[in-house]
Each structure stands twice: as C-alpha cells, then as structure tokens.
Amino acid sequence: MKHSAGALISLFDIDRSSQHSLYKQIYSTLRSSILEGHLEPGSRIPSSRQLANELSVSRNTIVQAYDQLQAEDYLESGVGQGSYIKLQFADSLPPVKKVHSKNRVRVSKRGQAMLDAYTPETPAGPPSPFVPGIPALDSFPYKEWQRAMQRAGRVISSADMNYGSTAGYLPLRKSLAAYLAISRGVRCTPEQIIMVNGVQPGLDLIARILTDPGDRVWIEDPGHYGARSAFSAAQNKLIPAPVDEQGLVISKEMQNDDHANLVYVTPSHQTPTGAIMSLERRLQLINWADSKGAWIIEDDYDSEFRYRGQPLAALQGLVEDSPVLYMGTFSKTFVPSIRMAYLVVPEALVDTFCHARRTVDTHSPTPLQVAMHMFIEEGHLTTHIRKMRNLYTERQQLFLEATQRYFNDAIRFKASDSGMHLVGDVGQNDDRLLSQAAQLVGFVVPALSDYFIGKADRRGLIFGYTCVPSEEIDQKVKELSKVLNPLLK
C-alpha cells in the first residue's frame, strides 16, 4: 500500500530506550519506506516543524534526518517549497516485496569446491571433552600474556599502527628464526618466514599459489582433513598416500608419478596415527620431490610436545635449500584463538608469496605479533611449553589409566611419546556410529574413518587428552564409557 507523505506519521514506531539515536530511527524508517515503495515518488514530505510536533521530538532531530536523506539522494528540495521524494524512484524502485537474497545464491565452481570440502566446525566456547588438538586452556598463562600485551602497548610506535610488512613483524620473525634453528633444525633467515593467520590459511595460500585445478597432490591417508579441504577446495586431484609406523609410504605409484605437484606431510607426529617419520623415509621423500620437481609441505603442528627423548629435526633442515615449505602454529603451543602461525618458504618463493598474499589479507595484525614477540623474548613461551609438556604427560597417564578402568580393552590405546591425542582402536566396530553416540552426550571424539580419503582400513576414535582438566579426566572417561560400552561388540 502506498502512503502519501502526509499519512506518514503512522509509519513511525519510535523507541526512546533504543541504543539507536532518534535521528537514526527516523532516517531509517523514511529510507526503507521510500525504498520499499511505501511513499509516492514526487510527493511532499511534512515540514521538519510539523513532523517534529507530531513525533514529539526536537526539530533538529528531524532536520538531521532530512539532511542525511538529501545527502544520499532520496529527497530533493526547492527553496521555500519544502522537501519531496525524488521522482527518479518512480522507475527504479525494486518491487515492494523484499528481495530475498537467499533465493539468488549461486556459487562459483571454486565456491562449490569449498562447500564440498570436509570442514567440520570446532564449536566455540569451552572445549568439548576430548576434542583433539586443543591445548590446556585451563592453564593459559594469563599473567605473563597480560604483561607481554602491556609491554607491547608501550613499545608500539605510531609507525607500527600503519599497514605492516606483508611477511610480518620483523623482530618476531627474527626470534622465530632463532627458535626454529635451535629447537627444530630449520634452516632459514628471518626473511623466509611469513606470519600467517593459522596453518589453515597458510595451506590455502600454498594451494592458490602453487597449484592449478587438476594438479596432483599427494596427501597422507589417513590425514589432517584441514589439508584435504585446502587442496580439494583448490580443485586439485588428491592422491592418498598410505601411512605405516614409519609415516608416509612412498608407493610404486608415487615413485612413478612424473606429474606430481606437491605432497603434504606431518613427519614429526603424523595426524592422526601418531607415526613418526623415519629418517630414511624423510630422505627418500626429499629425493622424490627433487626428482619430480614437486614441493613438500611439512606441517610441524605439534612437534614441541615430545615427552621422552629428542624429536627428530624438521625435514626442512635436512638438506640445504630443500624443496620444502615448512609450517608451525601457535594454536598448539599457545592457544588456537590467537590465529597465528608461520610459513617458512624457500628463498626463491619469498617474493612470490609476499606479492600474492597482498591479494588475500594484506598481513597479520601487528599489535598481536608485537605481543607474541615480547612473550617469546621474555622466555614465557619456552616456560609455558615446558609446563605443558609436564602437564600433558600427566594427563595422558591419567587418561590411559581411566580408559583401562572403564573401557577394559573394549577400546584399546597405546601410550605415546608425543602429541596431544591418542587413537583408540575399536576393532571392527563402526567408529562413525560410536562418534555420533558420543557427540549426542557432548563429547567430540572423531572417527578415524573420517580422516581417510579412500576406504578406511582401520577404525578408531581420536581422543584429545590435553584440554580436559586433570581432576576431570577419570569422571569424563567414566561418563563416556557408559554410553559407548553398550554399543561395542
């Protein structure tokens, strides 16, 4: 129904307690009435004095709303003639019925590939018990982090508030280069480090820059579904590489693949099986990549959590100028919400990655990087990792004792010297069904089957033991066993 401007008072529903100012409310009502065709184009609107009286608001409020509408081209006024709704709207108004954008969603092929990728959401809020990959949030170093943020606030210059360097805050990259050289044997200069907002966006960047649709990407099977989703969203051809107790197996087919583009691996602690890639396999993989002209993507996501003995050095540093793009993340050593990770690229790729990255998200937030730099420089990160190593050793032990007590070998676990999760072997039981049953009572223990690209040859449930407070582990395992035990054959 069209209202003449005179009858427009009935359109207003002013809320004086609203957080939106009166002028904004009046402006919005008039604007949507014009756009939705409720007001006749060409008709005169009441004078500001008249409308102010009718609505019992100040005249200034109405003048402010009219000025805004005039500035945005909804109204026109002639000297001494009042204001009119612009006639141009007579032809160009959309139908009175609201446009429903839902009906017109059409995604591109690339968008569809993203939608088809397997990307279960990790729910926000307190972590569900045993959800894999989440650190001990109950032991977050509040005092030390606060201090690092305060110090960052003091040292950040006004120049740091401008756009920053694409690759990230140089002092942080310098401390990371030193840390990676000592603790992971990574060979790189600070210039080769690119700060990214997580391993996931790093993988997306790699896929975009280094692959075309249809390119052949070898990927651990079972493997990290974040990597699978990044490369399948880039419309690559994913080729499953089996995994045994020495990590990724370089099969005959892989050896003979002269068109391979890249391979994704988690050599320090294979996701999800926990296998540690042997030195022989590592060298074999480098030789393979070298001979095929392929890239190795090394995801070193949780290598800091090694509970006995020394971890093997990163694949990246085994030979000089290796064909490896190395990634590490603060999601495990610190917290996932910080969205901070680092990509180490060969020198020949530095400019390419920086240039291309500017198309995507320009760079990572500088103030957070400065705070992380302070946190590292003051030794807090090393202390935190050391504390978490002890805590996770304790939590794994408590978890294993509880599973022995309540699952009584119906789900079998093996102790592990590293990582943040364990795989529970469920034999021939349907792991997806068990995982769904657990989910119904608030536990997130993904099925091993969901980590496979092809047919799963093993069944199990993945348990993250690091995020459950030590004193709750026994009770939580007990609760879950009551749900799962009756389903286990």
Going by their DSSP bridges, the two strands 260-265 and 216-221 should be labelled as parallel
Q: Which is closer to ligand PLP, CB of 300 or CB of 431? A: 300
The region of 36-44, 185-193, 328-336, 439-447 touching ligand PLP under the rule CB under 6 A is: 328-336
Going by the DSSP 8-state scheme, the letter that residue 191 receives in this structure is G
Question: Which of 25, 83, 211, 271 contacts ligand PLP by CB under 6 A?
Answer: 271
Q: Which is closer to ligand PLP, CB of 198 or CB of 267? A: 198
CB-based contact 165:193 (threshold 8 Å): no
Please tell me whether residue 184 binds ligand PLP under the rule CB under 6 A.
no
Q: Residue 323, preceding bond cis, omega within 30 degrees? A: no
Name residues contacting ligand PLP, limited to 30-49 (CB under 6 A): none
H or E element in which residue 77 lies:
strand 75-78
Rounded least distance, CB 467 to ligand PLP, Å: 11
Going by their DSSP bridges, the two strands 216-221 and 247-248 should be labelled as unpaired
- Neighbouring residues of 395: CB distance < 8 A, sequence distance ≥ 6: 136, 465, 466, 468, 470, 473
H or E element in which residue 374 lies:
helix 366-377
CA–centroid distance for 242 within its chain: 26
Residue 17 corresponds to which tokens in the numbers above? 């307690």
Question: Which of 25, 33, 128, 200 contacts ligand PLP by CB under 6 A?
Answer: 200
The region of 197-205, 280-288, 399-407, 440-448 touching ligand PLP under the rule CB under 6 A is: 197-205
Q: Which is closer to ligand PLP, CB of 141 or CB of 267? A: 267
Rounded least distance, CB 390 to ligand PLP, Å: 22
Residue 435 corresponds to which tokens in the numbers above? 């995982």
CB-based contact 302:269 (threshold 8 Å): yes
Question: Which of 128, 329, 435, 449 contacts ligand PLP by CB under 6 A?
Answer: 329
Please tell me whether residue 198 binds ligand PLP under the rule CB under 6 A.
yes
The region of 89-97, 329-337, 353-361, 369-377 touching ligand PLP under the rule CB under 6 A is: 329-337
The region of 15-23, 89-97, 198-206, 389-397 touching ligand PLP under the rule CB under 6 A is: 198-206
d(C-alpha 10, C-alpha 444), whole Å: 53
Q: Which is closer to ligand PLP, CB of 45 or CB of 462? A: 462
The region of 49-57, 97-105, 192-200, 368-376 touching ligand PLP under the rule CB under 6 A is: 192-200
Rounded least distance, CB 412 to ligand PLP, Å: 22
d(C-alpha 39, C-alpha 350), whole Å: 58
Residues in the chain: 489
Closest-by-Cβ residue to ligand PLP is 198
| Residue owning tokens 């992971």 | 184
Question: With CB under 6 A, what is the number of residues at the site for ligand PLP?
Answer: 14
Radius of gyration of the chain (CA): 29
Rounded least distance, CB 196 to ligand PLP, Å: 8
Please tell me whether residue 135 binds ligand PLP under the rule CB under 6 A.
no
325 strand-pairing partners: 297
Complete DSSP assignment for 7-65: GGGGG----TTSSS-HHHHHHHHHHHHHHTT-B-TTPBPPPHHHHHHHHT--HHHHHHH
Rounded least distance, CB 105 to ligand PLP, Å: 27
Please tell me whether residue 199 binds ligand PLP under the rule CB under 6 A.
yes
Please tell me whether residue 224 binds ligand PLP under the rule CB under 6 A.
yes
Task: Give the residue among 449, 422, 432, 412 at the shortest CA–CA distance from 487.
Answer: 432
Please tell me whether residue 299 binds ligand PLP under the rule CB under 6 A.
yes
Rounded least distance, CB 224 to ligand PLP, Å: 4
Binding site for ligand PLP (CB under 6 A): 133, 198-200, 224, 226, 266, 271, 299, 301, 329, 331, 336, 341
